[in-house]
């Protein structure tokens, strides 16, 4: 491996490790990693004129850092879902000077992890908030909504720490893991985020752990 590739992998590995740590904090379980998909993308990276006095490895390192900054600011797209982490840099193309600006545009190709919910998927999430008419769960980088109409036999139990409970004493309470099926999802362009509704109607769906995580 060349020194340049070593630097690129070091920078990308740090970003990936940070992202993975964040995911584990959110999920409290590695079972949700099936929601992550590896994607290959081609982007353009713009290096400002004031940074063009560096050459060789320093310029290439500047391109990688700029790519990581652009990647982080994108957050999500309708087609790919949430941009989670860069995994590898495949190629840096020849730079082209932009007219009237003086900066240089470099085409790059890279691999990354993305996250997206699809209707019909059976997934798991952690209960984040309980209301009288339903429950919000944290699933990866987004929240999903489970209406009380989509969890048959469960009744709302008010109190300081409200819960939903059925006749078999199965409880849906804050911080437990629930398995559900995605029944609807849409992308909100202005917020760059997805909204999803889920259901417990189906076999083997519902709380999978009565222990608060």
Residue 85 has a CB neighbour count (10 Å cut-off) of 23
Q: For the residues 61-68, what does the mean pLDDT come to?
A: 90
User: pLDDT grade, residue 49 (50/70/90)?
Assistant: confident
Answering whether pTM is above 0.85, one says no
9 and 109 assigned to the same domain: yes
What is the distance between the alpha carbons of residues 64 and 58, in angstroms, rounded to a whole number? 10
User: pLDDT grade, residue 37 (50/70/90)?
Assistant: confident
Residue 27 has pLDDT above 90, yes or no: no
Residue 98 has pLDDT above 90, yes or no: no
CATH number at residue 38: 3.30.1490.120
- Residue range 118-145, pLDDT digits in tens: 899 999 999 999 999 999 999 989 999 9
Residue 89 has a CB neighbour count (10 Å cut-off) of 21
9 and 111 assigned to the same domain: yes
* Residue range of the domain that includes 46: 3-115
When divided into structural domains, the chain yields a total of 2
Structure tokens at 46: 């713009």
What is the distance between the alpha carbons of residues 114 and 166, in angstroms, rounded to a whole number? 36
79 and 105 assigned to the same domain: yes
What is the distance between the alpha carbons of residues 155 and 46, in angstroms, rounded to a whole number? 55
Query: What per-residue confidence (pLDDT) applies to 212?
Result: 57
């Amino acid at each position: 491996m060349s020194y340049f590739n070593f630097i690129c992998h070091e920078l990308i590995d740090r970003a990936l490790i940070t992202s993975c740590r964040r995911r584990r904090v959110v999920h409290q379980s590695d079972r949700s990693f099936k929601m992550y998909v590896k994607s290959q993308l081609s982007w353009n990276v713009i290096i400002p004129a004031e940074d063009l006095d560096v050459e060789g490895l320093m310029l290439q390192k500047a391109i990688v850092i700029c790519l990581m900054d652009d990647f982080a600011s994108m957050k999500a797209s309708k087609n790919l879902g949430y941009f989670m982490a860069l995994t590898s840099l495949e190629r840096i193309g020849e730079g082209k000077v932009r007219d009237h600006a003086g900066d240089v545009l470099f085409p790059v190709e890279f691999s990354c992890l993305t996250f997206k919910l699809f209707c019909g998927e059976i997934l798991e999430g952690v209960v984040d908030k309980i209301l009288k008419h339903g429950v919000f769960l944290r699933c990866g980088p987004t929240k999903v909504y489970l209406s009380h109409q989509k969890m048959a036999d469960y009744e709302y139990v008010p109190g300081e720490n409200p819960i939903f409970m059925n006749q078999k004493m199965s409880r849906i309470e804050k911080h437990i893991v629930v398995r559900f099926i995605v029944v609807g999802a849409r992308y909100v362009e202005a917020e760059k985020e997805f909204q999803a509704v889920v259901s417990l109607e189906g076999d083997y769906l519902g709380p999978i752990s009565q222990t608060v995580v």
